[in-house]
Amino acid sequence: MKAVTVTHTAEDGTLIDGTSKGDGTNVILKAHGWRWFPSLSTWGIRNSRDRAPKRHIITATADALRAAGFDVDIDIDPTARPTALVEADRAARQAARVDALAAKAERRSTQADQAWNAEERAVDALPPGGEPIKIGHHSEGRHRRAIDKAHNATRKAIDATDAAKNAQQRADAAAVTTRARYSPETVANRISTLEAEQRAEQRRLDGHERTLFIHHGFGTPRRPPPLQAHSASRSSPAWQSAPTRSPTGSRSAPSRSQTAPPPITDPTPSP
Q: With H, G, I as helix, E, B as strand and everything else as coil, classify residue 187.
A: helix
pLDDT tens digit string along 127-143? 887 788 889 888 888 89
β-pairing, 71-76 vs 3-9, is: parallel
CA–CA separation, 87 vs 181, rounded Å? 11
The pTM of the whole model exceeds 0.75: no
β-pairing, 42-44 vs 35-37, is: antiparallel
Residue 213: CB atoms within 10 A of its CB come to 9
H and E: helices and strands count for the chain? 7, 7
Predicted confidence (pLDDT) at residue 161 exceeds the cutoff of 90:
yes
Phi/psi class of residue 86: alpha, beta or left (left: φ > 0; alpha: ψ in -120 to 50)? alpha
pLDDT tens digit string along 64-77? 999 999 999 999 99
Which residues are CB-neighbours of 220 under 8 A, at least 6 positions away?
A: 214
Predicted confidence (pLDDT) at residue 232 exceeds the cutoff of 70:
no
CA–CA separation, 192 vs 172, rounded Å? 28
One-letter amino acid at 104 equals: K
Continuous H helices in 125-212: 140-181, 184-205
Q: Which CATH class is domain 3-81?
A: alpha beta
